[in-house]
Every structure is written in structure tokens, then in C-alpha cells.
Amino acid sequence: MKEKEKKYGLNTLAIHAGYDKDKETGALALPIYQTSTFAFSSVEEGANRFAGVESGYIYSRLGNPTVAVFEEKVAALEKADAGLAFSSGMAAVSAVLLGLLRTGDHILCSKGLYGCTFGLLNLLKDRFGVEYSLCRMDGEASLLEALQPNTKVIYVETPINPTLELVDLSMISKMAKERGILTVVDNTFMSPYLQRPIELGCDIVLHSATKYIGGHGDVVAGVVVGPKDIMDNLRLTTQKDIGGILAPFDAYLLVRGLKTLGVRMDRHCSNAQEVAEYLSKHSKVNKVYYPGLPSFSQYDLATRQMEGYGGVISFELSGGFDAGVRMMNQVQLCKRAVSLGDVDTLIQHPASMTHSVIPIDERKAMGITEGLIRLSVGIEDVSDIIDDLEQALSKA
Ligand code: LCS
């Protein structure tokens, strides 16, 4: 973050960090540098850029001005030194894990992960000999028991997708630091507006920017932020050489989306709170998982660690899976779709959709029952969302 930006609040940074105006034209909206390559004014200039003795662009896989603004903005919001943008959340996750781990290392993960992250861990284990284990991380004792002498990274989602179980980030970052282990947090469910793991002592934060960062359901992207030395290393290795980079137009959409992050997140939170309270009183609903309900088992931790409870709710219908299918087939305003964090309300069934690649026993251990439904509450009028759920539930 630039020195003069340090005094700004998150809403100001979301609009202004990383870009002032175009130096040549004064264009206030971010220009889309839709170019694959950059012309050098001399051979010497090209050689100096390749040698790293002169700054400047070379080729868009190695850096692009539109993409750089997005990277800087997310880094400013997450209070990180630097950021790297990717073509998807999974490109970001794989660049981080491949960049930090080598054969023989162990990675300790929260018990509950996005399905494809789980798939990637298995690929790393089977093909590259990187061991992983899953741990509930519900206290220092369970973490101590799960740590191994070769643990190099602790990787957590919090809230965990889709059960919304939380991990105490201050607790794990402290234990990791004492042992020289890096902590990586997938902050997709919260966005930097609601949770900033680096301020809680964690090292690296990543996002599926497809979700709240973009916010409008029109781009698939990922971003990683953290200490400059680690980001520089990832930029020159797994970002450059694997090459899952972000396109300039997508970076433009993300920068545009980020400008309204705060107002969107406030509305996601207030709508989700009302919907969660409505669902928790409904006779056909067995259980509601939402960190903002005082009945949520980790409500105190949520209140301490997060600046809002987020927009995602999971719930179980008393009629089980069949009732869930009936209900999901009745919704009209809420869209039957995976993903989350869009301005539109989305409803999905993790066991058959986002988490279907996880074997059923593992899924059960993660708390993903067959009848669990996940709702990503949008920013429509909340009364319309509740009316739609009411008519769908009446037929469940
Ligand atoms: N991390 C989390 C927590 C996610 O929820 C997802 C995608 C990813 C990483 C991967 O990001 P992507 O490559 O899709 O940008 N989650 C999805 C979901 O819950 N429904 O559809 C995708």
C-alpha cells in the first residue's frame, strides 16, 4: 500500500487504492490494457527489463497494468504487502500450494474445504508425495496433535464451505509462527471487508475472486496476497511458469466490482441475518447454520474475529434430502446455481454439486449431510427473498 493510503478506511481503499488516474489522458476509469506484449524502445531497454534492473512491462503473463491495479487494490484491502491475480480461485490455490510445498512436506488443513481444493490435495499426494491431513482445529490441543515435524503449511477456510464452521485465526497463526509454519487462509466467504486474516497474524490470504470480490457473477478469478518476498517468489515461479494469469478485461470487472464491496457486504449481511432468523423459526427447517445467530455454536468467535457474519447460510430440512429437492425445484427468485457472493441470491445442494467429488464418508466427517442446502443471500429486497423461500418451503 502507498504511504498516503495508509490513513484511509476500507471503503475509500476499495475505490481509490492502486489507481489514481491515467497518467497520459487523465481517464478516471481504469483503462483496459488489452495487450499481450509491450514494445521496448531499444534492445537495451528490453534486456534491462528481462534482467530485472529496470522496471516496466514485458509480456502480459509476466504482468499487465490493468491486472496490477487489481493486485494492488486487494493487497491494500487485506493489509498485505503485495498481491497476485489468477484466472480462477483454483489457479490461485494451486499456485500457492505448488509454490510452497515440495515432496515429503506435510500440509495441515481445516476439516472442511471446497471440493476442488480437496481434489488438488489428493493430486499433490498421489503424484507428488505431499502429505495432507484434515483437523477440526477447535483448540490448541487438537492442532498440536495434528502437527507433524514436516508440517510446512497450515491451510484453512473460515467460515468453512458449506458448514460455516469457524477456525480461530489468532490461535492458529500464533501456534504456526512459533514453529516456523506458514498459515494460508482462504478468505473467500468473508471478503477483506469482513475479515482480514493478516491482521490476525496469518501469512497468506487467497480468494476465489469469482465470489464477493467480483460480486456480480460475471467473472471467474482468483487472487493471493501476502509478504513481498513470498509474492515475488510465486510471481516468478508458479504464476509465471504455470501461467494461470488473469485477463485484463476480467481485472477491470473486478476493480469495478470492488468499488462497491462495502455497500454490497453490508446488505449481504443484513439480508442474510433476516433470512437466517426467518429460517430458524420455520417448522420445516431442522437446523440453520449462520454465524450471526446467537444459537450458532461459535457465535462468540464469529463476533470477535469477523466484522460481519457474511451472506451464506446453510440449512437442513426436517424432510431430509427429498424435501430439499422439492423445495429447490420450487424457488423462483432464488436461482438454483453453484457459486456464491453474487448480488443475486443463489441456492445449491453441496452433496450433489460443489462437494460431490469428496467421498461420502469424508463428506459426513466434514458435516456435509445429504440434506444440507446452501443459500448465498443476495442483495435483493429481503422481503422478496423471504417470500420466495416461504412459497417454496410450503411445497417441500
Ligand atoms: N475457495 C472457496 C472457498 C470456494 O468456494 C471456491 C469455489 C474456490 C476456492 C475456487 O474458486 P474458483 O476457481 O471457482 O474461482 N466455490 C464454488 C462454490 O461454492 N460453488 O461453485 C464454486
**CA of 28: how far to CAs of 24, 34, 156, 336, in Å?**
11, 17, 38, 37
**Cα–Cα distance measured from residue 223 to residue 246, given in angstroms and rounded to the nearest whole number:** 9
Q: Which of 113-117, 175-179, 357-361 has the lowest mean pLDDT?
A: 357-361
- Examine the fold and report which residue of 237, 258, 279 is the final residue of a domain before the chain moves on: 258
Strands in 222-226's sheet, in edge-to-edge order, are 82-86, 222-226, 204-208, 182-186, 151-157, 106-110, 131-135
Phi, psi of 153 (to 5 degrees): -140, 140
386, with CB counted inside 10 A (0-12, 13-18, 19+), is middle
Number of domains in the chain: 2
Sign for the CA dihedral angle at 83, 89, 91, 94 comes to positive
Judge whether 47 lies within some domain. Answer: no
Q: Which of 24-33, 200-209, 232-241, 321-330 has the lowest mean pLDDT?
A: 321-330
Mean pLDDT throughout 220-229?
98
pLDDT tens for each residue of 275-299 = 999 999 999 999 999 999 999 999 9
Read off the C-alpha cell for 234: 510465486
Neighbours of 381 (CB within 10 A): 10
Confidence bin at 173 (pLDDT 50/70/90): very high
354 pocket-lining for ligand 1 (C-beta < 6 Å)? yes
Cell 440434506 found at: 371
114 is an active site residue: yes
282 alpha carbon – ligand 1 mean position (Å): 29
Judge whether 49 lies within some domain. Answer: no
Same domain, 230 and 341: no
Q: For residue 220, give the nearest of 178, 272, 257 by alpha carbon.
A: 257
320 alpha carbon – ligand 1 mean position (Å): 25
pLDDT at 4: 77
Same domain, 304 and 233: no
Residue 170 has pLDDT above 80, yes or no: yes
Where in the sequence is the domain holding 177, given as residue range(s)?
2-31+63-258
Percent of the chain with pLDDT over 90: 89
Q: What is the CATH number of the domain that holds 67?
A: 3.40.640.10
- Max distance between CA atoms of the chain, in angstroms, equals 74
- Examine the fold and report which residue of 205, 239, 258 is the final residue of a domain before the chain moves on: 258
Same domain, 210 and 304: no
Same domain, 84 and 222: yes
208 pocket-lining for ligand 1 (C-beta < 6 Å)? yes
Residue 387 has pLDDT above 90, yes or no: yes
Same domain, 222 and 276: no
Q: What is the CATH number of the domain that holds 357?
A: 3.90.1150.10
pLDDT tens for each residue of 17-41 = 999 999 999 999 999 999 999 999 9
Query: Are 250 and 232 spatial neighbours (Cβ–Cβ below 8 Å)?
Result: no
386 alpha carbon – ligand 1 mean position (Å): 25
Of 195, 210, 355, the one to substitute when testing ligand 1's pocket (max ligand atoms within 8 A of C-beta) is 210
322 is an active site residue: no
Q: Nearest C-alpha to atom 20 of ligand 1 is from which residue?
A: 339
pTM of the full structure: 0.96
Same domain, 86 and 223: yes
Same domain, 254 and 286: no
Mean pLDDT throughout 153-173?
96
Confidence bin at 371 (pLDDT 50/70/90): confident
Phi, psi of 152 (to 5 degrees): -105, -25
- Examine the fold and report which residue of 258, 274, 309 is the final residue of a domain before the chain moves on: 258
Same domain, 132 and 246: yes
